[in-house]
Amino acid sequence: MVLAALKGDCVYGLDLLRRLQEFPTTAITEGTLYPLLDRLKREGLLQADWVQEGESRPRKYYRLTEQGLLQLTTLTAYWLQSAEDIGQLLSRAAARGNQTQGGA
Helix axes 30-42, 13-21, angle to 10 degrees: 120
Model pLDDT, residue 100: 67
CA distance 41 to 62: 9
- The verdict on pTM exceeding 0.85 is no
Q: How many domains does the chain have?
A: 1
How far separated are the first and last CA of the chain, in Å rounded? 44
Model pLDDT, residue 99: 76
Burial of 15 (0-12, 13-18, 19+ CB in 10 A): middle
**Do residues 69 and 6 make contact, with C-beta atoms less than 8 angstroms apart?**
no
Model pLDDT, residue 97: 83
CA distance 12 to 72: 19
Model pLDDT, residue 67: 98
- At residue 4, φ and ψ (nearest 5 deg) are -65, -40
Question: Which parts of the chain have pLDDT scores under 50?
Answer: 104
Domain that holds residue 83: 2-103
Which residues is 63 bridged to in the sheet?
47
Domain CATH for 57: 1.10.10.10
Model pLDDT, residue 51: 93
Model pLDDT, residue 102: 60
CA distance 10 to 19: 13
